[in-house]
Chain A
Amino acid sequence: MSSTFDTVANIIAETCDIPREKITPESHAIDDLGIDSLDFLDIAFAIDKAFGIKLPLEQWTQEVNEGKATTEEYFVLNNLCARIDELVAAKGA
């Protein structure tokens, strides 16, 4: 988990010009870090490349819009990193 978080935090810091020390596992990408949907596409692109996965952004957005999930489930960084780890594990299974 920690290495996943470090990678993701570095991606966010570099992509969005956010000081690395402001990015914590408890940070909400949207509410705390102010990342908008366009910047999140850049982040998703970098995460997809770094981990060899495809973040299911459309599915997540649909679930949030339909009230089936909260943004915290996908966009608080420790939750995001857990999703990434699941996708990486599923890829290797």
Chain B
Amino acid sequence: MRLEYFQLIDRIVGLDRDARTIRTEATVPNESTIFEGHFPGHPLMPGVLLIESMAQTSGWLLIALNGFARMPFLAAVKEAKLRRFVTPGERLTLDAQLAHDGSGYAVTKVKVSANGKPICDSELTLRVMPFPHPDLKVHMVSMADRLGFPMEARTDG
């Protein structure tokens, strides 16, 4: 994770386009300016960033399913539960499943765990639309390379 750059996923470790699921991993950094304020003497991964990590995992799933044709944007967070504190250095596993593929939107169910134990979960709605700027698509392709995005998922189908 690079919290200051909103890079909340380290790698994609599993993608099943038939089952419409993805698994990603991320390690909370030991050092971050965010921990200076959140909180002094008691550094915690902010819950809003855990939600963002679930959104980014969902986003990569949707990009995989549409073959980089469209870009997902977080639109709604439902029933988010932050079950325990997450501290620097923890290694997180994130699992997302497509719950519904709508017209211009999608709904996912996402869970974050560590060592097999649940940390947080939510149902997310994402708007899915054409890339609003070509630079964004270039950026996402570059990010995909860094995250180990499967080559076979780079085209629609």
Q: Interface residue tally of chain A, by bracket?
A: 10 to 19
Q: Tell me, in angstroms, the Cα distance from A59 to B104 when the chains sit together.
A: 9
Q: Tell me, in angstroms, the Cα distance from A58 to B102 when the chains sit together.
A: 9
* A56 part of interface (Cβ distance < 8 Å): yes
Among B75, B103, B125, find the residue whose CB has the most chain A CB atoms closer than 10 A.
B103
- On whether A58 and B103 interact (CB within 8 A), knowing A41-B125, A42-B125, A45-B125, the answer reads yes
Task: Report A-chain residues with C-beta under 8 Å of the C-beta of B100.
Answer: 45, 48-49
Would A57 and B103 count as touching, CB distance under 8 A?
Answer: yes
Among B75, B104, B125, find the residue whose CB has the most chain A CB atoms closer than 10 A.
B104
Task: Report B-chain residues with C-beta under 8 Å of the C-beta of A59.
Answer: 103
Would B125 and A57 count as touching, CB distance under 8 A?
Answer: no
Contact of B102 among A38, A55, A61 (CB under 8 A): A55
Q: Tell me, in angstroms, the Cα distance from A55 to B107 when the chains sit together.
A: 14
Instruction: Report the minimal beta-carbon distance from A53 to chain B, rounded to whole angstroms.
Output: 10
Instruction: Report the minimal beta-carbon distance from A43 to chain B, rounded to whole angstroms.
Output: 11
Would B102 and A45 count as touching, CB distance under 8 A?
Answer: yes
* B76 part of interface (Cβ distance < 8 Å): yes
* B105 part of interface (Cβ distance < 8 Å): yes
Would A44 and B102 count as touching, CB distance under 8 A?
Answer: yes
* A54 part of interface (Cβ distance < 8 Å): yes
B-side residues, CB < 8 A to A, are 75-76, 100-105, 107, 125, 127
- Give 8 A-B pairs besides A44-B103, A55-B102, A57-B103 with Cβ atoms closer than 8 angstroms: A41-B102, A41-B125, A44-B105, A45-B107, A48-B102, A57-B102, A58-B103, A59-B103
For this complex, 9 residue pairs linking A to B, each with C-beta atoms less than 8 Å apart, are: A41-B105, A41-B125, A42-B125, A44-B102, A44-B105, A48-B100, A54-B102, A54-B103, A55-B103
